[in-house]
Amino acid sequence: MNNNTFNIGTFNTDNSAINLGGTVEGGQNVTQNNYNFPEPKQAEATQTVSDLLQDIRRRYPQATDAEILEIVDRGLADMQQNNPEKWRKWVDILSVVFAGGVEAIKIIAPALGIPIEIGKRLYEIYDRNRQQLPKGK
């Protein structure tokens, strides 16, 4: 007997995830897709930082990543002295971005998404098989 009814799971804005599920019987193939969406504050904060970095890159097209980091660092130090209210807002924005960890990095720098996922998979393989690896002396 085939059961082709599907129940839509929950959409909870607190964890920002959508899950779809159903009952599978017999020789049916199953694919599970989980869709995780960044929380609005996370996405907004990440976009703000991304916009800032793009603006700095436009102003200083020859700057290296280290130089851009220096520019941001100097700007935050000056802001803390001269405009503490604005500095506090940036501290809050950066706190939200860093709370997002890897997902925030993938939003700010989409090109890093694939290498990050490859690294995660390699670690999972290593972790699963580490008992089979030769022991160090």
**pTM value > 0.85:** no
Nearest by Cα to 99 from 38, 16, 8: 38
Residues 6+ away with beta carbon under 8 Å from 22: 3, 4, 5, 6, 7
Q: What pLDDT, on a 0 to 100 scale, did the predictor assign at position 8?
A: 39
Percentage of the chain with pLDDT > 70? 64
Task: Give the mean model confidence (pLDDT) for residues 63-91.
Answer: 85
Q: Residue 58 is encoded by which pair of tokens?
A: 């436009």
Domain boundary assignment for the chain: 6-36, 40-129
Residue 1: pLDDT band with limits 50, 70, 90: very low
- In the structure, what pLDDT confidence band is assigned to residue 136 with cuts at 50, 70 and 90? low
